[in-house]
């Protein structure tokens, strides 16, 4: 998640009536370490304020790990039953849809989870290099294209936010040197070297994310 993306999400989440936002389900949450150490701006902007105010956030991811409250496949009826007991009022889904081969199915499930009046905070890369986790379908929608994944929801806000790319928490200069050295070693893990070639243009231009807020009315 880009820092500007986290800022945008936080602004939109806390600009609303928090009684209509929380409990918030964070789908594709990743781990506590990722949110607080790898990309600490996720925690600082989005989740730390909720925790300090006592607003409930439930983190869901397919894998078990520290900081994941519900671990499992969103298609599993047992997982959906567990979610149903939590009285979720809104959903956040950030940088997940581009990693799904069954995007339409998951979008339908997300829609079913939202209660009437509930909000969906949704972000996806717009201009960003290939990054498999474990796959990347290269789904790179603009605002209107992302909205079309949820045709029954009402658009509340939408913006494409931009940032410099470094793909890491390292200072840009250090990252750039390491990146260039890596490109000089094509025989070492050649599949990742090819990915690096695809990322090369992003050393010299900005990346972006498409961010929208939708509501079930």
| Tokens of residue 47, six digits | 């989740």
Q: b/e string for 9-41 if b means 16 or more Cβ within 10 A?
A: bbebbeebebeebbebbbbbbbbeebbbeebeb
What average pLDDT does this structure show over 11-38?
96
pTM for the structure as a whole: 0.85
Question: Would the CA dihedral through 113, 108, 35, 60 be positive or negative?
Answer: positive
Instruction: Give the DSSP H/E element, type plus range, for residue 41.
Output: helix 40-42
Residue 72 contacts residue 62 (beta carbons within 8 Å): yes
pLDDT digits (tens, 9 = 90+) for 164-199: 766 544 455 655 666 566 566 665 555 555 565 566
SS3 200: helix
Tell me which residue has tokens 């939590």: 86
pLDDT digits (tens, 9 = 90+) for 94-118: 999 999 999 999 999 999 999 999 9
Tell me which residue has tokens 């690096």: 196
pLDDT digits (tens, 9 = 90+) for 26-74: 999 999 999 999 999 999 999 999 999 999 999 999 999 999 999 999 9
Distances (CA, A) of 217 to 115, 120, 140, 142: 9, 12, 27, 23
């Amino acid at each position: 998640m880009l820092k500007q993306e986290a800022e945008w999400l936080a602004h939109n989440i806390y600009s609303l009536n928090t009684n209509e936002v929380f409990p918030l389900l964070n789908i594709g949450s990743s781990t506590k370490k990722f949110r607080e150490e790898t990309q600490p701006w996720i925690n600082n902007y989005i989740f730390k304020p909720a925790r300090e105010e006592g607003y409930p956030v439930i983190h869901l991811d397919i894998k078990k790990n520290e900081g994941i409250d519900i671990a499992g496949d969103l298609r599993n009826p047992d997982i959906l039953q567990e979610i149903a007991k939590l009285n979720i009022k809104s959903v956040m889904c950030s940088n997940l849809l581009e990693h799904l081969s069954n995007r339409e199915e998951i979008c339908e499930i997300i829609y079913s989870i939202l209660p009437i009046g509930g909000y969906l905070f949704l972000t996806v890369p717009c201009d960003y290099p290939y990054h498999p986790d474990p796959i990347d379908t290269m789904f790179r929608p603009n605002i209107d294209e992302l909205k079309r994944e949820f045709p029954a929801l009402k658009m509340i806000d939408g913006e494409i936010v931009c940032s410099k790319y470094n793909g890491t928490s390292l200072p840009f200069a250090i990252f750039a040197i390491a990146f260039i050295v890596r490109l000089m070693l094509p025989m070492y893990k050649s599949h990742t070297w090819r990915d690096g070639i695809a990322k090369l243009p992003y050393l010299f231009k900005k990346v972006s994310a498409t961010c929208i807020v939708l509501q079930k009315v």
